[in-house]
């Protein structure tokens, strides 16, 4: 039990590092990447291919829709320290960690990353799975595409909707350990639209997951 408790504390500290997102230094990012690799190795997490996944970050801003571009300009005026590339890299890390935490039923981790409303939804889904003695195994095989759907600044509250297109393998086991869903372990292309929120006037630098929409195989 002590090992599990320490692992959760370590994971939470890692999350706090990368959830600063738009306020990381290069040194912070390097430390976060190193800690993330350690966490993945210890927990058998299938991580995203780093080189492939960040190569196009610099062009995302150029491809923004007019509404999102206007939102970004408003955000930068309100918070000059905001860095879009660093936010996107952090959001991608958050996506992977939340997906794995959900599959593992890790409520302690999710509670620190989600708004109260979204946490309630995830908690209910995990409870249903547990009541039915089911186990979900998820691996993210590839990050195919990242897009920004919208950037909104309402007073001091920022909402950024990210579109993640990934290839994932999701397998469901019953109580006896028999695969009852996707026995062939076929990879599926899944598109998730996740909205992250943050109050730029708050002392807490965390961006929380505030809304989710899955276009393929919803949770």
What is the tens place of the pLDDT at every residue in 66-125? 999 999 999 999 999 999 988 999 999 999 999 999 999 999 999 999 999 999 999 999
CA dihedral 102, 107, 108, 114 (to 10 degrees): 70
What are the structure tokens assigned to 212, written together?
Answer: 């989710």
Least confident interval from 17-26, 105-114, 158-167: 17-26
- Mean pLDDT in the chain? 80
Q: Given this model, what pLDDT does residue 62 score?
A: 76
How far is residue 92's CA from residue 81's CA, in Å, rounded to a whole number?
20
- Match 């309402």 to its residue by tokens: 154
Q: Which residue has the higher pLDDT, 169 or 43?
A: 169
What single-letter DSSP state applies at residue 21?
G
- Please, is 102 exposed, middle or buried when counting C-beta atoms within 10 Å of its C-beta (0-12, 13-18, 19+)? buried
Mean pLDDT of 29-53: 45
Query: Is the alpha carbon torsion for 57, 58, 62, 66 positive or negative?
Result: positive
Residue 42 pLDDT class (50, 70, 90 cuts): very low
Check if CATH label 3.30.1360.120 holds for domain 2-214: no
The residues spanned by each domain of the chain are: 2-214
| pTM across the whole model | 0.73
Q: Where are the alpha helices (DSSP H) in the chain?
A: 2-18, 26-43, 50-54, 57-60, 66-78, 84-104, 107-111, 116-131
């Amino acid at each position: 039990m002590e090992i599990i408790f320490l692992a959760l504390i370590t994971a939470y500290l890692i999350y706090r590092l990368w959830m600063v997102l738009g306020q990381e230094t290069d040194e912070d990012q390097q430390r976060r990447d190193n800690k993330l690799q350690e966490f993945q190795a210890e927990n058998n997490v299938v991580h995203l291919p780093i080189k492939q996944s960040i190569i196009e970050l610099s062009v995302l801003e150029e491809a923004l829709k007019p509404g999102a571009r206007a939102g970004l300009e408003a955000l930068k005026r309100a918070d000059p320290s905001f860095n879009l590339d660093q936010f996107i890299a952090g959001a991608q890390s958050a996506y992977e960690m939340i997906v794995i935490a959900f599959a593992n039923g890790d409520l302690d981790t999710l509670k620190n990353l989600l708004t109260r409303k979204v946490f309630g939804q995830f908690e209910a889904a995990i409870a249903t799975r547990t009541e039915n003695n089911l186990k979900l195994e998820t691996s993210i095989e590839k990050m195919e595409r990242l897009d920004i759907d919208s950037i909104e600044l309402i007073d001091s509250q920022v909402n950024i909707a990210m579109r993640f297109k990934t290839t994932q393998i999701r397998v469901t086991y019953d109580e006896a350990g028999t695969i009852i869903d996707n026995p062939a372990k076929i990879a599926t292309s899944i598109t998730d639209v996740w909205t992250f929120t943050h109050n730029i006037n708050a002392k807490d630098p965390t961006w929380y997951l505030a809304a989710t929409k899955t276009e393929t195989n919803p949770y």
